[in-house]
Amino acid sequence: MSFHPGRLAKLYYNSGTYASPTWVEIVRVSDVNVNMTKNTGSVTTRESPDQKTVIGSKIFQLTATYHEKIAADSVLDAILTSYMADTPDDTGGKMDMAAMNQDIETSGSTGVRGQFAVTELSRAEPVNDSVTRSVTWEEVDHEESDSVVDVVEFTTS
């Protein structure tokens, strides 16, 4: 059995349109997590001594550590723009993101794609290591042609 090392996975943002994406790979990241959870509620009735769980809506979140560079950095600029926007609908507030198991141009690569906004952007400045940003992206509302666009798992062809 061979293992798939995380360093071969890819994280992208789209600098084009939703219908005609131009994927920009975010290469200066480490420790990327694609968090897929669901809201839950609990139900307890006299019918059963067991507590039951009610499954609610899905929650999609991406997290990563971004390693800053001193020179001009268009990726960090896009991340900062998303974070600084007051709402996801402000210019640059949303980021069309894809987290893939390999290069997005490779036929058969799989991952998730969706509209996200930066909700955390913490900066760490350790003395003996690189300056990093802890980045969290969370799914936001988005419509294309009057239809809601949700995060989707997809495979490239």
Place of tokens 């906004």: 117
| Domain at 151, CATH number | 2.40.30
Instruction: Give residue 53's identity as a one-letter amino acid code.
Output: T
Residue 88 domain-assigned (yes or no): yes
Alpha-helix runs per DSSP H in 9-147? 74-84
Beta bridge partners of 14: 23
pLDDT in tens, the chain (157 residues): 578 788 899 999 999 988 899 999 999 999 999 999 999 999 999 999 999 999 999 999 999 999 999 899 999 999 999 999 987 777 778 999 999 999 999 999 999 999 999 999 999 999 999 999 999 999 998 887 788 888 888 888 7
Residue 39 domain-assigned (yes or no): yes
Residue 17 domain-assigned (yes or no): yes
Residue 1 domain-assigned (yes or no): no
Alpha-helix runs per DSSP H in the chain? 74-84
Contact call for residues 13 and 4 (beta carbons, < 8 A): no
Number of domains in the chain: 1
- Its domain, for residue 34, covers 6-155
Instruction: Return the structure tokens found at 128.
Output: 């003996």
Residue 118 domain-assigned (yes or no): yes
Q: What Rg value do the Cα atoms of the chain yield, rounded?
A: 18
Residue 29 domain-assigned (yes or no): yes
